[in-house]
Every structure is written in structure tokens, then in C-alpha cells.
Amino acid sequence: MKYLITIILSFGCFALANASELPPSVSAEYFGCKLDDNKDLNDLNNWVKKWNRWMDSSDLGDYEASLLTPLYRSPNDELDFMWVGRTNSWRELARGQSAYRSSGLADTFPAKSCPFSFIARQIPVNGTDFRDQMNQDEFVAAYWLCNIEKGKSIEDVYSLQERRMKNISESGNVIASRIVVPRQGTPDAIRDYDFVMLYVSPSLEQWGANVDNYVTNIQGSEEDSMDGVFSCDHSTVYVGGTVR
């Protein structure tokens, strides 16, 4: 199941004390890939159709996947796409990888070069419930690289981000968030950071509206303060589509 897409090491041993205070996490795999010569996204989409038929014939029903293409990222030609797969456990993720590796599908994958591939925990943070508004063909995933301030923990990050997302949603933004804690396979670009903050908007237009509202009404306010718990920079934006 080297299933393509995207977005998150081995941040050494990233200690997560009092993990019971955090909500159940999602196990995720990320593949940032370059299309083979003379291949394009149409070839990738055709491969995905074949992969989905194989998935339908399997018992890997827990696996979900998204395909992300860079919108605002520099350099924007480093990757053609990112594949992000998600399950509820590492065992299920590994079981799927085992089945995929013996399926023969990898031989026809139109992007043999994947400059990075890694796994990560995704910790969901309450935000807007926009399931009815989700554009499965054109949603937005924005990633921020973040560090935890000295003396603080991932539990502190979660508690503060939960409060921030409540304020941001109540102020009119239609948005959800996840704290992404990388594990094995970390790319160099994020190796010096403690975690990645993911923000998902249900459509490209809504993402633009979210940015307008945030800059005008929320940014810099007391309700938006990171309160000395964490800090973020170097954001990137991808347009996503649901694969499975």
C-alpha cells in the first residue's frame, strides 16, 4: 500500500505524557512524489481507479486517502503530488502495506520517485462540522511548521488549539484542524520542527473566505493568541481531492 498521496519521523523520541488527555489519534502515511517522464495526472488518476478496484476486492475498509497537489509552495516543482493515507491503527496501516506490496500494483505506479515518505500521528481538533459542504474534488489543506515552547507539551498545544479553533469557528470561519506529529521517515524540511499544524477548508473558495475573515477579524486578537505554548511559520497550501 505505497498508495500515492499526501500530508506527516522520528523527532527523536517525542514524549507524549498523559496521552489519555488527548483524543484518539489517526495513523497516517505521506508520500510526496514526482511523476515519471511522459506521465501526467491523468495517468495517475487512471492508476487510482485501478487501485480502488483492488481495494474494493480487499478487506482493507478502514483505509482512507487523499491526493494533494501544490497550490502555494516554494519550490512548487519539487513534488507533483502528495498522497495521504489514513487508518485508525498502525497495525491496519502495516497490514495494508503488506497487501499492497504483494499485489503488483507498485509496478504500474506512474511516479516511481517519491522524495519523501513518512508516517505520522494526526490528532483531531474540534472545529467546524462541514461534512455537508465538503468539496471532495477541491478542498484545501494548509500546513504550518510549528515548535513547542520550552516547558510546554503536546497536551498544552492541543488544549490551546482546541480553544483557538472554537473561537475561529465562532468568528465565522468554516475550517477544521489536526495536529500532525511525525514519526519515521521525516523529510529534511520538517526535521527541525516539533509538529505540523494542518488546517482543512471544505473548498477553495471557502479557504479564501476563511483567510479574509481571519486577517480582518481574528488575527492578532487575544482569542487567537498562542499564549507562549507554540509558534508556527513556513506554511504551504495544497488543493486536495478525496481518493478513497
Least confident of 72-86, 110-124, 151-165, 218-232: 218-232
The answer to the question of residue 3 being in a domain is: no
Give the pLDDT score at 221: 84
Please tell me the distance from the alpha carbon of residue 239 to that of residue 244, in angstroms, as a whole number: 16
Mean pLDDT of the chain: 89
Q: Identify the CA nearest to 195 among candidates 243, 139, 234.
A: 234
Residue 134 lies in a domain: yes
The tally of domains found in the chain comes to: 1
4 pLDDT more than 90: no
Helix (H, G, I), strand (E, B) or coil at 225: coil
Q: Which residues pair with 121 in a beta bridge?
A: 27, 181
User: What DSSP designation does 20 have?
Assistant: G
Q: Which domain holds residue 174?
A: 19-242
How high is the pLDDT of residue 12?
Answer: 31
**Cell digits of residue 176:** 477544521
| 14 found inside a domain | no
For residue 225, what pLDDT band results from cuts at 50, 70 and 90? confident
Q: Is it the case that residue 8 has pLDDT exceeding 70?
A: no
Greatest extent of the chain over all pairs of C-alpha atoms, in Å: 54
d(CA 106, CA 92): 19
Which whole number is the average pLDDT over 166-194? 94
Q: In the prediction, which pLDDT does 45 show?
A: 96
Residue 23 lies in a domain: yes
* Res 56: pLDDT: 95
C-alpha cell at 77: 516543482
| Residue burial 35-68, b: 16+ Cβ < 10 Å; e: rest | beeebeeebbeebbeebeebbeeeebeebebbbb
What pLDDT shows up at residue 224?
Answer: 77
Picking from 5, 10, 3, the residue whose alpha carbon sits closest to that of residue 182 is 10
Cell of 205: 473558495
Place of cell 478525496: 242
Q: End-to-end alpha-carbon separation of the chain, Å?
A: 13
Q: Given this model, what pLDDT does residue 6 score? A: 35
Please state which of the ranges 83-92, 121-130, 147-156, 192-201 shows the lowest mean pLDDT. 121-130
- Residue 6 covered by a domain: no
pTM comes to 0.87
Whichever domain contains 127, its CATH number is: 3.30.70.100
Asked, for residue 25, whether it belongs to a domain, the answer is yes
Q: Establish if 216 belongs to a structural domain.
A: yes
**In terms of Cα–Cα distance, which of 18, 26, 24, 30 is closest to 90?**
26
* Nearest residue to 143 via CA among 192, 94, 197: 197
Backbone angles phi, psi at 115, to 5 degrees: -55, -25
For residue 52, pLDDT beyond 70? yes
- The confidence band for 31, taking pLDDT boundaries of 50, 70 and 90, is very high
pLDDT, tens only, 72-121: 998 888 899 999 999 999 999 999 999 999 999 999 999 999 999 999 99
Residue 7 lies in a domain: no
